[in-house]
A and B are shown apart, each in its own frame.
Chain A
Amino acid sequence: MMVASSKNKLIEISDLMTRFHTPEGTVYAVNGISYNLDVAETLAVVGESGCGKSVSMLSILGLIPTPPGEIAGGTAFYKGNDLLKMNDIDLEHIRGKEIAMIFQDPMTSLNPVLTIGKQITEAIRIHCNLDKNKANKRAIELLEWVGIPDAKNRLGDYPHQFSGGMRQRVMIAMALSCEPSLLIADEPTTALDVTIQAQIVELVKRLREQLGMAIIWITHDLGVVAGLADRVIVMYAGYIVEEAKVDDIYEHPLHPYTIALLNALPRVDRRRENRLKSIPGAPPNLLVEPHGCPFAPRCEFVTNQCRTENPKLVSINDQHRVACWVNILERGNDNGRE
């Protein structure tokens, strides 16, 4: 079932479950997801808003506020240590140094009252034990890496003096300050306009080559994924519904949700007469304990079994896993394609 040999595994997550206990009831945000990541591999996690993408990442870094959050089960082994069982002090040494994270909205992810230089050198000084001068030099080097012109003179500037794209570059510089083995990018291009998006994606690709780091790229934009990721995980309502190599996802999508997502995407290689298809309905209410397949209410292939029993994630071949009752082979692989 595992995709590659466990020797090169950077992170192995199994049965991760995260819940939030709110006054309205328990929110089942992440419901037992398992995946792993090789060294220097790029994994894309896609899905609609509120399907547990970010929460699952925050969970493994211990950044879920508890209470109301609760990690209800699972393990997350990083280089042989279970992150979920680590205490706060040990986790602080992992966060930022081994596993760095960049966030969706660069406009709010930088502290407005601290200079850029202060915020970058902070991370360097926490993890790398450098003195102030060396940390400053390193910060300038990092800013040049991420393509900020005149880096030396911009260290004393405040975040409001930077544009959105520049701020995201600063965030990336901060995240890379200690050359992490894993970069978690939580929708880093969602808040940016399209040209800037492309620049940021190119930048991350270039830095990935330079540093040889693994990347988990959370997004709901399958268009961004194509040129960037090695493997794709599709999440829905806190479950992984499909996992495959990136080419497989585009050429042989197996889960109805993946197919629907791809049909909602404009493509250059498709005839213009075909209208983009939206997915009817809304994502399920995570307050209700799930029974049956979570996608059943919106699925065009739904069967009776789907409504009562939740399908397990099963391997189709050694690189492709899918959770669906409908006999995939019978449906044919290009069912969703017109």
Chain B
Amino acid sequence: MDSISAQSSPIARLSPDELEAPPLTLRQLAWRRFRRHKMAMFGGIVLILLFIYSIGGSFFFTEGYANYTQTELRLQPPSAAHPFGTDTVGRDALARTIYGGQISILIGLAAVIIETLMGILIGAAAGYYGGMIDSILMRFTEAMLNIPELFLLIVMAKNFGGKIPNITLFGREFSGSVVVIIIIIGLTSWMYLARIVRAEFLSIKENDFILAARATGTPNSQIIFQHILPNSIAPIVVSATLGVANAILSEAYISFLGLGVQPPTATWGNMLDRANNYLETAPWLWFVPGAFILLTVLSINFLGDGLRDALDPRSRTI
């Protein structure tokens, strides 16, 4: 009987190693799920293109050109010389979207780093230690949540604006207001993340492997950062991704109100400043930066959605 089956089926002649495909790692599984998410792939590609646009564009135009005012050429509609037109003081909108994009992306990423650090530290301490520490930290978080974020942003921007001198970095001079905006956005947006991290910690710390780690004498700090944090990384990554979109939007709000990044440094947000006076007479003023903001935020949200599905360990899709 053995010889019959061994001859008739080619599978029977394979060694066990050849029969069994190596198991996929968690990372491979996540990538496979992410690739299936069409919108997320679209978002990811658009973001890469936007990145190339704002970094690569600076090889074609200097920042001096982007900030160069020619009042006699103000409010020019799109043309061959100025594909996106010119603004209220005659600066080239195309060059400004390039340099503005750099600042907007920088603000988005840097603010999220601050947001994530604060969210993780506060959420982890509250969730892991519990008791009094949890109560105090969470009441503080709720208090911060109860103040409308826009209001906080405006008050802080008004108080701290202009107090930080200009900074030179990567051979570029940044307006001090960029740093102020990054810090303000970071400090006003960590609350949701802190709550997510706390909830994750509350459930993960009850696992047997945490008890096992404690029984091996692992100090608390190591349990928090090496054992629990890597287990809760998925929701943190998703939340941070969406946080970039929110930070770019927040920057646009306050820059639009004239409290954000100060000209001549361009951002997509402050390019909208005063465009509201020319809604009909010069629509390119708001359409171009508006489209960039919209595209970026939309793409990030798609990306976050895809990451949420891909990184969710409970997801059954393979």
- A residues sitting closer than 8 Å to B (CB atoms) are 61, 63, 67, 91-97, 100-101, 103, 105, 108-114, 122-123, 126-127, 158, 160-161, 171, 174-175
Contacts and interface: CB of A to CB of B under 8 A. Distances in A.
Interface of B: 23, 25-26, 131, 207-209, 211-219, 222, 226-227, 230-231, 233
Contacts of B208: 103, 105, 108-109
A63 B131 CA distance: 17
A103 B212 contact: yes
B226 A96 contact: no
A95 B219 CA distance: 10
Nearest to A184: B215
Contact of A93 (B212, B215, B217, B233): B217
Given A108-B207, A113-B230, A114-B227, A126 B212 contact: no
A100 to B, nearest CB: 7
29 contacts: A61-B215, A67-B131, A92-B218, A92-B219, A93-B217, A96-B216, A96-B217, A101-B212, A101-B216, A103-B211, A103-B215, A108-B209, A109-B208, A109-B209, A109-B211, A109-B212, A110-B212, A111-B209, A111-B231, A112-B231, A113-B26, A113-B233, A122-B213, A123-B216, A123-B217, A126-B216, A126-B219, A158-B26, A171-B212
Contact of A96 (B26, B209, B215, B230): B215
A111 B213 contact: yes
A122 B216 contact: yes
Nearest to A92: B217
Contacts of A92: 217-219
B204 to A, nearest CB: 10
A104 to B, nearest CB: 8
Given A109-B208, A109-B209, A111-B231, A95 B226 contact: no
Contacts, number: 75
Sort A-B residue pairs by CB-CB distance and give the 9 closest, nearest first. A96-B217, A96-B216, A95-B217, A101-B215, A108-B208, A109-B212, A113-B230, A123-B216, A111-B209
A75 B222 CA distance: 29
Contacts of A110: 209, 212
Contacts of A109: 208-209, 211-212
A122 B227 CA distance: 11
A109 to B, nearest CB: 4
Given A92-B218, A109-B208, 16 more contacts: A63-B214, A95-B214, A95-B217, A96-B215, A97-B217, A101-B215, A103-B211, A103-B212, A109-B211, A109-B212, A113-B26, A123-B216, A123-B218, A126-B217, A126-B219, A158-B25
A96 B227 CA distance: 16
Contacts of A161: 23
Central interface residue in B23, B215, B226, by most chain A CB within 10 Å: B215
A219 B64 CA distance: 77
B223 to A, nearest CB: 10
A175 B227 CA distance: 17
B314 to A, nearest CB: 13
A100 B217 CA distance: 9
B23 A95 contact: no
Given A114-B227, A114-B230, A126 B218 contact: yes
A122 B231 contact: no
B276 to A, nearest CB: 49
B221 to A, nearest CB: 11
A119 to B, nearest CB: 8
Given A97-B217, A122-B222, A113 B212 contact: no
Given A108-B208, A109-B209, A114 B226 contact: yes
Nearest to B205: A65
A30 to B, nearest CB: 17
B217 A127 contact: yes
Q: Which of B25, B209, B226, B231 has the most CB of A within 10 A?
A: B209
A182 B233 CA distance: 36
